[in-house]
Structure 1
Amino acid sequence: ELVKTCNGLGIMIDLSHLNERGFWDVAELSNAPLVATHSNAHALCPTPRNLTDEQLAAIKDSAGMVGLNFAVGFLREDGQRNPEVPLEVLVKHIDYLVARVGIDHVGL
């Protein structure tokens, strides 16, 4: 009921903090674009907060968007929170997301 009410009022539902099950629950009910304002690619950093290729495909299919998360624990392959993250790691996530959802659907 909440998802449908938000859709009806034009309220965006940010999927960034949902687990995968919650993501799919909202995706099934929503008729609005799927949005994750601060998430990265699970394929590059396998933390539960990052988006799988299947989730990215659903976002693309809904004409939604993904905003890159600059928190180091969601960028590094090893999941460490070491603040020394090379720029190449950010670029790798950007390129990956752009390849999956399109350049017009990725935010920084």
Structure 2
Amino acid sequence: MKTRKVTDLVHFEDDAARTEILYETPQLFSQVVCVQGSQGIGPMSDASSDGLLVVLAGEIATQIGKARTRMQQWEAALVRAGEELTFRNASEEPSVVLLVLAPPPA
């Protein structure tokens, strides 16, 4: 069994969001996204992959499809295949997000 310490992937960049792949297999893709200030990612979508978004630290402003919400640490959201995802850091503190996609995006 291969294990990884997620905190080893938590690093921030001054000019853009930082992404680090956690695991990638033919059936699954996961990455850790680190954002600070007003950094964010998206919009992005994949027609064949469902996604799971989990806030590991901080607070983010999220838009999935047309729905918008703020998410705090330990909150999760489902991103269905074909839905657009956009999120940004929403606090003075940095945020860390786990994004899991299955199957991996094309």
Query: TM-score, normalized by length of structure 1?
Result: 0.29
> Which structure carries more strand by proportion?
2
> Which structure carries more helix by proportion?
1
Structure number with higher relative contact order (C-alpha < 8 Å, ≥ 6 residues apart):
2
